[in-house]
Amino acid sequence: MVSASNQRSRAATARATTATQGDWLRWAKPLAFAASLYPLARLVLFGFTGNLGANPIEFITRSTGLWTLVFLCITLTVSPARRLTGVNELLRLRRMFGLFAFFYVMLHFATYVWLDQWFDPMSIGKDIVKRPFITVGFAAFVCLIPLAVTSTRAMVRRLGRNWARLHKLIYLIAVLAILHFWWMKAGKNDLLLPQIYGTIVIALLGVRLLWWVKRRYAAR
């Protein structure tokens, strides 16, 4: 009788915890979505008020590129945050942040192709081949496409275990994004931001490496 009572008590506690997390997500997700639109709203506001600087194309390109990196870092932060806090509902925000990373990289790429290169395929191709920071940036963009395409629940079910394997590409994408940012800034000897974001990415990937080593050790 006591055991059955304890089991019912634990089950009730688990249901209450799940309900609380669900309540938290109901207001957190819309707020996170609205906050994720801030960079776009800022660009639109600056455009209408003439505050994009002396070189608007460069301002838009740099801004969308930086926010792509920010959302990549946020996406990589979700899993460690979930493990540290025990709030599994955080994982339901990860897809949204990942899609916002893709949204801003699309704006970044569109600005480059349209406003910078004026849809000139020859010029774009030469740029990708001759300039290393463009090469790795383009590679990161291409790698993000399958992750965005397979982000739906239907694709998760269809791919099964292969979905998790495919989405590990985000680690490579983060490294390529840092290289793109670093090499772009190195030409102007302005490495403060690349160093900051590089440190963040190394820390986030390092935590995952430690977890992997720990699992391998435990399996032995």
Per the document, the length of the chain is 220
Helices (H), the chain: 2-36, 38-49, 56-85, 91-110, 121-130, 132-149, 153-159, 161-166, 169-186, 192-219
Among residues 55, 64, 129, 156, the alpha carbon closest in space to that of 102 is found at 64
- Position of tokens 């709030």? 87
User: What average pLDDT does range 187-212 have in this prediction?
Assistant: 93
Instruction: Give the Cα separation of 147 and 4 in Å (integer).
Output: 45
Q: For helices 132-149 and 121-130, what crossing angle results, to 10°?
A: 110
pTM (two decimals)? 0.87
pLDDT band at 187 (very low <50, low <70, confident <90, very high): confident
Going by the DSSP 8-state scheme, the letter that residue 113 receives in this structure is I
Instruction: Give the Cα separation of 187 and 55 in Å (integer).
Output: 18
Reported as a single tens digit per residue, the pLDDT across 130-160 is 999 999 999 999 999 999 999 998 999 999 9
**Residue 105 CB coordination number (10 Å):** 25
pLDDT band at 2 (very low <50, low <70, confident <90, very high): very low
pLDDT for 1 beyond 50: no
Q: For helices 132-149 and 91-110, what crossing angle results, to 10°?
A: 130
- Position of tokens 């090469």? 135
User: What average pLDDT does range 51-62 have in this prediction?
Assistant: 93
Provide the pLDDT for residue 16.
Answer: 47
Tell me which long-range contacts 202-207 makes (C-beta under 8 A, separation of at least 24). Answer: 204/73, 204/76, 204/77, 204/80, 204/174, 205/76, 205/171, 205/174, 205/175, 207/80
pLDDT for 41 beyond 70: yes
Provide the pLDDT for residue 67.
Answer: 97
pLDDT band at 113 (very low <50, low <70, confident <90, very high): very high
| Residues contacting residue 174 through CB under 8 Å, at least 6 positions apart | 72, 73, 76, 201, 204, 205
Torsion of CA 13, 19, 22, 26, to 10 degrees: -140
Reported as a single tens digit per residue, the pLDDT across 72-94 is 999 999 999 998 888 888 888 99
